[in-house]
Structure 1
Amino acid sequence: MLKLHDELITELSNSLTTQNYNPVVVANHRLYARAFLDYLAECDIQVETVTPQQVDQYFGYAVQDFEIQYGRPPSARWHMLPRTAIAKLLRLAQGNWPPDAEMIGPDDEHRHEICREYEAWLREERGLASASIAALMWEARNFLRWQFDRAGAASLETLSIVDIDLYMDMRAPGLRRKSLADVAERLRSVVRHLHRTGRIPTDLTPHIIGPMLYAYEDVPSTLERSQIAAVLATTQEDRSPRGLRDYAILQLLATYGLREGEICRLRLDDVDWRAESLRICHTKTNAYSYMPLMVTVGEALLDYLRLGRPQVEVREIFVRSCAPYIAMTNLYGMIRGRLAAAGVVPAGKRGPHVFRHARAVEMLRASVPQKIIGDVLGHRSTESTNTYLKLATDDLRAVALEVPGMEVLS
């Protein structure tokens, strides 16, 4: 067993080193993994048969050992690093960790069967994007688990609008109107599938009603040009690998108004340095457009590629600044941090879309035709561009009508 444990430790170390983890992190992972394996040997538990419950039992033991050694309990987040190391170790030993949830009864099997059919229908019949499928599947699993736990699998045959209302009441607390409307839309899709496959006798989708949302009711958050300049200047001062990456991303946001997904999916092949052009795959339409590679953007990308980007095999341009060096999947945390560092506090949301809104306003103020604005932003319809017209408040004031009766008050 000790030899097997030594082999696992070596395999874990080699795996982390291959992924360019910091040597200190690799050493810590080895220590955490060794302590866990020693515990398993003491309890005569095979690493190939470890369960999540046994991992939790180990952490109970580890907390007691920590208190004995240091005379105080560990911090609330102390377990995170050891748990990460143990998960990587068990993934090597068992091939799959955490293990799939066990189906302990016919209701669970029935629920999993419905979910598998529903996912296949969304992917193969409707051809939805992975993100859309993930959101719909989460709602389906949540609804079916809730319904089966309270009334059993057979309750689908008698599912009524009362059950739907109870589920919506359960989901409503803490959600904004837009989020609750999204829940209703996803639930309609699930219920429609259940009716289509004959699992519920009545089509209840017309009775699943979410909050009323009005076109253009919200004013998008945006930034002033001076605020964008402040964020860029502050970020440019950070010459660390992370700073170089963030500055290049901010230049793309400020110059082209790209979506978050379009930046995360940008690949090395999408930059044509000779032709000085940038190929953008638009997230929502999957259409490609070509932008001129502006000097500031090109210089920022070159600095990052030469001095900041890790030497990894992934083809996406922007990767995590610490191991594992994989492609970035979201920018919200980075944007929020850079805005705070520059002392910029926008009204409303603080994600990457505020740069997109700001770019749209700049083009509106420069009298760029709406069709061209839509093309630059990757909109399929001019209706998608109309929402940005509300942001040009100075221009709207110029054409505003006088309020009747105001001349009397003045």
Structure 2
Amino acid sequence: MTDEPEQDLLPEAMMRVLADYERHLTSERDLTPHTVRAYLGDVAGILEHARRRGLDDVTQLDLRTLRSWLAQQQTLGRSRTTIARRATAARVFTAWLARTGRASTDVGSSLGSPKAHRTLPSVLRADEASDLIAAAVAAADDGSPVGVRDIAMLELLYATGIRVGELVGLDVDDVDRDRNVVRVLGKGRKERAVPFGRPAARALDFWVRQARPLLVADGAGGALFVGARGRRIDQRAVRTLVHRRIAEVPGAPDIGPHGLRHSAATHLLEGGADLRSVQELLGHASLATTQRYTHVTTDRLRRAYQQAHPRA
């Protein structure tokens, strides 16, 4: 048995609302296709559950139905994190219904959800981050364009903490070498400027001036980083690179590009950067998202204390 929504069984009125909601998420909120699919899947699940309870229109949704749907998720063995995410999806949907006049009240505004377990992200130590770059340099000792590109990508990921999607979307003109700043288009198409240091600057210069012209092909446009075939590189290739090089660092956790983002944020805070500045650099809409990195640094400090202090 599955809890996947059977959208073909939904009443026509509900299907129309679902289609309108998809347009809202895609056009007005400009969410990624992955996020849109997740929201729509959750909302379709709510509507299917409501239909099974005898409701055939979104105006009939009530708090009891929403709570019943969440309880079903728990019965099906869904994790606290998943249930919390689905409760959020329900609240966002009912708020949209009320805001657009499709419902007279926001029935989901009082919907509670279990707090997701806070898991601290795996991060590199500063020396492990250096070893990661060194592994890329060693792999590029033949001077191949791909090897030079890999060094530049790893340097930029760690120096800036940008997302892998932001990295692959960069164009050559997005790099301001006079100020050592890269212009990034983040979530919701919000643009921000992120500084980078001298090591990343040197790696980017060598890539753009010496190696990229040897690899770039027609159709790449202004893409800063291109794949082996000369077109704009994709996220999967970058993830593969990070995992491959991390495997060459003894004792380092197996992280991907997002782990480098976590590491950059953690090292900034450990180095004395203020939380607001890190929020701006990472492009977080909420300071609460950035604050979780303070838990990482506190946890690392606690472990260091327990290992080093004679009366720990």
**Which TM-score applies when normalising by structure 2?**
0.71
What's 1:362 paired with?
A: 267
Q: Do the aligned partners of residues 145 and 249 (structure 1) sit closer, same or farther apart at CA in structure 2, a change above 3 Å counting?
A: farther
Matched, 1:164 2:66: yes
Structure 1 residues 154 and 388, CA gap change in structure 2 (3 angstroms): closer
Task: Identify the residue that residue 152 of structure 2 maps to in structure 1.
Answer: 248
Contact in 1 for aligned 2:170/2:225 (Cα 8 Å): yes
Corresponding residue SS for 1:130: coil
CA distance in 2, matches of 1:377, 1:157: 39
Deviation (angstroms), 1:222: 0.8
Written as runs of structure 1 = structure 2, the 5 A alignment for 1:2-401 is: 107=10, 109-122=12-25, 127-131=28-32, 132-145=35-48, 147-148=50-51, 150=52, 154=56, 156=58, 158-172=60-74, 173=76, 175-194=78-97, 203-213=106-116, 217-236=118-137, 237-238=139-140, 243-273=147-177, 275=178, 277-281=180-184, 283-284=186-187, 286-291=190-195, 294-302=201-209, 304-321=211-228, 325-326=231-232, 328-329=234-235, 331-343=238-250, 345-346=252-253, 350-379=255-284, 383-393=288-298, 396=301
CA apart distance, 1:282: 5.1
Partner AA of 1:305 in structure 2: R
In structure 2, how many angstroms separate the alpha carbons of the residues matched to 1:321 and 1:307?
10
Q: Structure 2 counterpart of 1:264, which letter?
A: V
Report the secondary structure of 2:56's partner residue: helix
What amino acid does structure 2 have at the position aligned with 1:154?
A: D
Match of 2:3 in 1: none
Between the aligned partners of 1:389 and 1:117, the Cα distance in structure 2 is 40
On the 8 A contact 2:14/2:47 being kept in 1, the answer is yes
* 1:225-247 superposed Cα distances (whole Å, 9 cap, x missing partner): 23223322333315666544433
Aligned residues: 291
Q: CA RMSD in A?
A: 4.1
State how far apart, in whole Å, the 1-side matches of 2:110 and 2:285 are: 31
Provide the C-alpha distance between the structure 1 equivalents of 2:70 and 2:239, rounded to a whole number of angstroms: 29
Q: Distance in 2 between matches of 1:379 and 1:104?
A: 37
Deviation at 1:186, TM superposition (A): 0.7
Relative distance call for 1:190 and 1:322 in structure 2 (3 A) is: farther
Structure 2, unaligned stretches of length 5 or more? 1-6
Q: Contact conserved, 2:155 with 2:203, CA < 8 A, in 1?
A: yes
Letter aligned with residue 257 of structure 2: P
TM-score scaled by structure 1?
0.56
Q: Which has the larger radius of gyration?
A: 1
1:113 is aligned with what amino acid? R
Post-superposition Cα deviations, 1:146-166, rounded to whole Å, max 9, x if no partner, equal 554x46762656544454344
How far does the alpha carbon of each residue in 1:218-277 deviate from its partner, in whole angstroms, 9 at most, with x for none? 43321012322332233331566654443322111122222223212211221245x263
Query: 1:270-325: per-residue Cα shift (whole Å, max 9, x none)?
Result: 1245x2633222524713215256223432454552344444234332345469x4
CA contact (8 A) 2:39 2:89 kept: yes
Amino acid at match of 1:116: A
Check conservation: 1:320, 1:326, Cα contact below 8 A. Answer: yes
- The 1:108–1:157 alpha-carbon spacing in structure 2 relative to 1, beyond 3 Å, is closer
* Contact 1:245/1:309 (8 A) holds in 2: no
What does the per-residue CA deviation read over 1:39-74, in whole Å, with 9 as the maximum and x for residues that have no partner?
A: xxxxxxxxxxxxxxxxxxxxxxxxxxxxxxxxxxxx
CA–CA distance in structure 2, aligned partners of residues 380 and 161 of structure 1: 29
Check 1:272–1:209 CA distance in 2 against 1; reply closer, same or farther (3 A cut): same
Instruction: Give the Cα–Cα distance (whole angstroms) in 1 for the partners of residues 277 and 211 of structure 2.
Output: 30
Question: Unaligned regions of 5+ residues in structure 1, if any?
Answer: 1-102, 401-405
Displacement of 1:122 after TM fit?
Answer: 4.1
Counterpart residue type for residue 185 of structure 1: T
**Identical-pair percentage:** 23
User: What amino acid sits opposite 2:66 in the alignment?
Assistant: I
Greater relative contact order (Cα < 8 A, sep 6+): 2
1:360–1:142: structure 2 CA closer, same or farther, 3 Å change rule?
A: same
In structure 1, how many angstroms separate the alpha carbons of the residues matched to 2:275 and 2:159?
17
Q: Which amino acid aligns with 1:257?
A: G
